[in-house]
């Protein structure tokens, strides 16, 4: 079984990653990272290697996957469905009403469209 | 309204119209197969043939081709994984995957049927738009028409893919280029440098074929396709038809998205198709099969890319602002016939409008039918390497742009613009606003002076129509600014659906010396235009000065960005190697484009074209063809000797016969004038 983390180099993405690593250890599941940031702001190589070492110690595997789909929400859901992922971990922060109305929300779409449990973590805690 | 529609249908029973429609459809299908040509190439190549025709015949030919270009471009996308046009690359995602599973026939059935439906729905959309827009259009006076032309150029610049500043600069430069020649208000010569030949303005065909056609050839000539194995057609025709019927909602949705993308200037078939694909994915519950052969990934986009061309025609014919590049050329053609799109086409030439609608619908059906019948032959055609096609295309394009003015100068301009178009394409400048600006330059100026002479000061700004257009003009800019700021702050992660196609796949030389050069060229061109316009009379000077001042501002921003990036790249020398390594591991190569292989090849291709033109100027067209074609085939395309001889022979005979079949002149050389 696998835990999918939707990663982007932003507070939301970092929060999702930390929580995802915890979740992987808790569930004894492999970790699957999907990069959803605009552009190519992926994880630093060094950090990835550290993370991989940390997971291998616990007997878990780390994979990074991408999708041909342009929309990050669709990409996450496609990979989740394809891999039969156990849980999706996403980070979110406060959105104003207008923000949601005009700009839409990727997180909202993942929550509504996902066919597996979704763990949402707030990046802007109190 | 209905009787003029029926009268138009009845007029299509005229055999000369039907034959033109058929020829147009076949030509469109063939051009759809050739990578990089697309609707723009199809219209640009066919346009010169129509110069001697009556408007209905010419329209039947061009619309026939335009309607089906996106039907056949699927074939190579599905069978080879090499799309015939940028918009077919969407179909490739699922179509090629399906073909690899041995179900190419299923993918093609879905694609052809959806293309047909998209075309028909597009034609219906165009029909419905006429009565809807009619009262609106009839209320327009010159201030509204002026605002519409401004809107046409600026929306194209803002909505085109890529950087807005680049889009606006390209649009403004197109406007300047369109002003070369005689001023519409004072009849004085502008930017002609005393040349009599430039006095008529630049030829639309030469500009379009240069900026799009030759540029496309140069950037693709290095592809010696054919190593790729072709996939056999396989079975699944019946399954394809059944699946198409079950996904009829996707067909309609795709077509509607296509029409909308077509109506917006600058949003062309490519963006519309990606939007349709994104929509299909977003609304699907089970997303697993997308990219691996999901029929929904073919149906929607294929339907959209045909209806885009119909949608493009809506603003073109009703408001006189082209929705895309092919329709910009169509607009140019109509203007040469003295048919003014906008209010006058609705009142005086309604029959032509309906003729276009019917031609579009009939051609869509005919195109799909022909594709089904000839799919085996089409599959064989896709195997021809592009370099082999390029030789003939160069010859045909040069011949085509010679027809408008009958002057060799047009051909030189075409090659220069070809190099420029290639530079724009590879450094990520959108080319659509450039051509739209070129076409709209003269109408813009004419409407401005009409407005200025009819109204006191800025009174015309207070007209409700003008205010609405001002709002439409400003809103997308504010929207773009908001998006830009959010992207800067990285707060746009959660901004919802993204339909855009993967970035940077078409601009390999972005952020390099090349893009710096391109910005430099823009800056110099605007500066030169500003300086030379100082000598015009006040009336002729106003618009060029406004445009070039605006251009100077935008291009200096571009230059500033480019120079700042270079300086920034240069300072952290120590970190560079480390960062480069890290990025290399993660699979994203940093852009380091200096004198790349592709650039070398493209410039070499332009040298070949120049050589061809020099030969033409010296010895005449026919002799130039007999030297250029075999040389290009043997040296660049590395074709076999037999192929080269047959190719040249056939082309020579066709060219020899052409002037007696069609109103076409072959360029004569310096030698011919001596004899």
Where helices occur in B50-195 by DSSP H, the ranges are: 55-80, 88-100, 104-138, 142-159, 164-178
Per-residue pLDDT of B128-177, as tens digits, reads 998 888 888 888 888 888 998 998 888 888 877 667 888 899 999 999 99
Per-residue pLDDT of B241-295, as tens digits, reads 998 999 999 999 999 999 999 988 878 788 888 889 988 988 888 888 888 889 9
Mutate to test the interface with B, among A7, A62, A71, A122 (most CBs of B within 10 A): A71
- Measured between CA atoms, how close is B498 to chain A, in angstroms? 5
Q: What pLDDT is attached to residue B174?
A: 94
Cα separation of B326 and B307, whole Å? 13
What is the chain A residue with the closest CA to B497? Answer: A71
Looking at residue A85, the DSSP 8-state letter turns out to be -
Please give the residue that has the higher pLDDT: either B85 or B587.
B85
ipTM value = 0.84
Contacts of B489 in chain A (CB under 8 A): none
- Measured between CA atoms, how close is A24 to chain B, in angstroms? 23
Count of Cβ atoms closer than 10 Å to residue B377 Cβ: 8
Task: Provide the percentage of residues in chain B whose pLDDT is more than 90.
Answer: 26
In the predicted model, what is the mean pLDDT of residues B333-361?
86
Q: Categorize the per-residue pLDDT at B660 as very low, low, confident or very high, splitting at 50, 70 and 90.
A: confident
Contacts of A103 in chain B (CB under 8 A): 492, 494-496
Q: Categorize the per-residue pLDDT at B590 as very low, low, confident or very high, splitting at 50, 70 and 90.
A: very low
Mutate to test the interface with A, among B92, B277, B286, B287 (most CBs of A within 10 A): B287
Per-residue pLDDT of A51-89, as tens digits, reads 888 888 888 888 888 887 878 888 899 999 999 999 999
Contacts of B274 in chain A (CB under 8 A): 70
Cα separation of B288 and B298, whole Å? 15
Q: Categorize the per-residue pLDDT at B572 as very low, low, confident or very high, splitting at 50, 70 and 90.
A: low
Q: What pLDDT is attached to residue B587?
A: 39
Cα separation of B145 and A51, whole Å? 62
- Mean pLDDT is lowest, of B236-240, B444-448, B645-649, for B236-240
Contacts of A92 in chain B (CB under 8 A): 494
Q: Do the Cβ atoms of B476 and B265 come closer than 8 Å?
A: no
Per-residue pLDDT of B33-67, as tens digits, reads 887 788 888 898 888 888 878 889 999 999 999 99
**Tokens 């693709």 label which residue?**
B220
Picking from B93, B492, B586, the nearest residue to A68 by CB comes out as B93
Flag if B274 and A70 touch (Cβ within 8 Å): yes
Cα separation of B556 and B2, whole Å? 53
- Measured between CA atoms, how close is A65 to chain B, in angstroms? 12
Which residues are paired to A31 by β-bridges? A3, A62
> Which DSSP string corresponds to A6-75?
EE-SSHHHHHHHHHHHHHHHHHT-EEEEEE-SSTT----HHHHHHHHHHHHHTT--EEEE--S-SSHHHH
Q: Kindly give the pairing relationship between strand A62-65 and strand A2-7.
A: unpaired
- Measured between CA atoms, how close is A121 to chain B, in angstroms? 14
For all residues of chain B together, what is the average pLDDT?
A: 84
Contacts of B502 in chain A (CB under 8 A): 70
- Measured between CA atoms, how close is A59 to chain B, in angstroms? 24
What is the chain A residue with the closest CA to B486? Answer: A103
Phi, psi of B249 (to 5 degrees): -65, -40
What is the chain B residue with the closest CA to A10? Answer: B490
Cα separation of B186 and A53, whole Å? 77
- Mean pLDDT is lowest, of B122-126, B446-450, B522-526, B584-588, for B584-588
Q: What pLDDT is attached to residue B506?
A: 59
What is the chain B residue with the closest CA to A44? Answer: B582
Looking at residue A4, the DSSP 8-state letter turns out to be E
- Measured between CA atoms, how close is B137 to chain A, in angstroms? 30
Torsion on CA atoms B576, B578, B580, B584, rounded to nearest 10 = 180
Q: What pLDDT is attached to residue B211?
A: 92
Picking from A46, A77, A103, the nearest residue to B496 by CB comes out as A103
Q: Categorize the per-residue pLDDT at B664 as very low, low, confident or very high, splitting at 50, 70 and 90.
A: confident
What is the chain B residue with the closest CA to A81? Answer: B288
pLDDT at B596 over 70: yes
Interface of B with A (CB under 8 A): 93, 274, 278, 281-282, 285-288, 290-291, 487, 490-502, 582-583, 585-586, 588
Burial tier of B372 (Cβ tally within 10 Å: 0-12, 13-18, 19+): middle
- Measured between CA atoms, how close is B639 to chain A, in angstroms? 36
Per-residue tokens: B85: 């046009």
Cα separation of B63 and B43, whole Å? 9
């Amino acid at each position: 079984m696998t835990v999918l983390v939707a990663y982007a180099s932003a507070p939301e993405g970092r929060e999702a990653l930390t929580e995802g690593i915890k979740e992987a250890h808790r569930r004894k599941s492999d970790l699957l990272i999907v990069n959803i940031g605009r552009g190519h702001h992926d994880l630093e190589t060094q950090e990835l290697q550290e993370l991989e070492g940390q997971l291998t110690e616990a007997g878990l595997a780390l994979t990074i996957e991408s999708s041909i789909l342009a929309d990050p929400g669709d990409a996450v859901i496609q990979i989740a469905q394809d891999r039969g992922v156990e849980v999706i971990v996403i980070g979110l922060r406060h959105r104003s009403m207008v923000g949601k109305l005009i700009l839409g929300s990727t997180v909202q779409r993942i929550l509504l469209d996902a066919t597996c449990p979704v763990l949402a973590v707030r990046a802007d805690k109190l | 309204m209905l009787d003029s529609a029926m009268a138009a249908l009845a007029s299509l029973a005229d055999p000369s119209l039907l034959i033109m429609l058929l020829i147009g459809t076949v030509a469109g299908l063939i051009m759809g197969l050739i990578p990089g040509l697309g609707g723009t190439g199809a219209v640009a190549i066919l346009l010169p043939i129509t110069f001697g025709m009556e408007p209905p015949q010419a329209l039947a030919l061009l619309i026939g081709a335009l309607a089906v270009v996106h039907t056949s471009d699927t074939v190579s996308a599905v069978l080879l994984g090499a799309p015939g046009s940028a918009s077919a690359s969407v179909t490739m995602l699922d179509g090629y995957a399906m073909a690899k599973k041995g179900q190419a026939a299923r993918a093609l059935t879905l694609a052809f049927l959806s293309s047909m439906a998209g075309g028909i729905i597009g034609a219906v959309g165009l029909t419905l738009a006429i009565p809807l827009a009619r009262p609106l259009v009839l209320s327009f006076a010159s201030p509204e028409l002026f605002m519409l032309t401004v809107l046409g150029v600026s929306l194209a610049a803002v909505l085109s893919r890529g950087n807005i500043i680049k889009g606006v600069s390209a649009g403004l430069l197109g406007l300047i280029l369109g002003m070369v020649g005689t001023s519409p208000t004072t009849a004085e010569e502008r930017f002609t440098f005393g040349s009599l030949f430039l006095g008529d303005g630049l030829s639309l065909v030469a500009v379009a074929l240069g900026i799009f056609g030759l540029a496309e050839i140069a950037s693709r000539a290095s592809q010696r396709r054919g190593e790729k194995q072709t996939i056999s057609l396989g079975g699944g025709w019946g399954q394809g038809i059944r699946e198409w019927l079950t996904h009829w909602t996707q067909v309609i949705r795709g077509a509607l998205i296509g029409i909308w993308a077509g109506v917006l200037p600058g949003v062309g078939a490519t963006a519309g198709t990606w939007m349709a694909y994104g929509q299909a994915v977003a609304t699907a519950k089970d997303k697993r099969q997308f990219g691996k052969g999901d029929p929904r990934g073919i149906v929607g986009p294929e339907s959209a890319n045909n209806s885009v061309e119909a949608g493009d025609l809506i603003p073109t014919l009703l408001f006189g602002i082209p929705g895309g590049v092919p329709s910009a050329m169509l607009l140019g053609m109509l203007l040469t016939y003295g048919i003014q799109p906008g209010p006058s086409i609705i009142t005086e030439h309604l029959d032509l409008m309906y003729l276009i609608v019917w031609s579009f619908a009939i051609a869509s059906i005919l195109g799909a039918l022909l594709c089904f019948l000839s799919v085996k032959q089409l599959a064989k055609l896709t195997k021809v390497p592009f370099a082999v096609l390029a030789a003939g295309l160069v010859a045909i394009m040069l011949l085509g742009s010679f027809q408008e003015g009958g002057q060799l100068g047009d051909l030189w301009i075409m090659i220069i613009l070809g190099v420029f178009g290639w530079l724009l394409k590879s450094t990520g400048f959108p080319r659509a606003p450039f051509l739209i600006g070129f076409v709209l330059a003269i109408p813009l100026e004419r409407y401005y002076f009409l407005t200025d002479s009819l109204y006191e000061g800025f009174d015309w700004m207070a007209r409700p129509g003008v205010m609405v257009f001002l709002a439409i003009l400003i809103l997308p800019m504010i929207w773009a600014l908001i998006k830009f700021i959010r992207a800067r702050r990285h707060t746009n992660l959660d901004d919802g659906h993204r339909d855009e196609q993967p970035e940077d796949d078409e601009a390999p030389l972005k952020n390099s010396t090349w893009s710096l050069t391109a910005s430099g060229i823009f800056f110099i061109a605007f500066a030169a235009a500003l300086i030379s316009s100082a000598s015009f009379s006040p009336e002729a000077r106003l618009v060029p000065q406004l445009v070039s001042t605006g251009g100077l501002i935008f291009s200096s921003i571009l230059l500033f960005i480019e120079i700042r990036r270079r300086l920034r790249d240069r300072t952290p020398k120590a970190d560079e190697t480390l960062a480069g390594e890290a990025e290399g591991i993660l699979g994203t190569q940093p852009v380091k484009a200096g004198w790349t292989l592709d650039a070398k090849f493209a410039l070499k291709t332009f040298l070949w074209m120049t050589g061809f033109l020099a030969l033409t100027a010296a010895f005449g067209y026919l002799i130039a063809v007999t030297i250029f074609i075999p040389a290009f085939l043997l040296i660049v395309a590395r074709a076999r000797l037999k192929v080269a001889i047959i190719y040249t022979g056939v082309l020579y005979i066709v060219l020899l016969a052409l002037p007696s079949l069609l109103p076409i002149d072959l360029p004569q050389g310096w030698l011919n004038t001596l004899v």
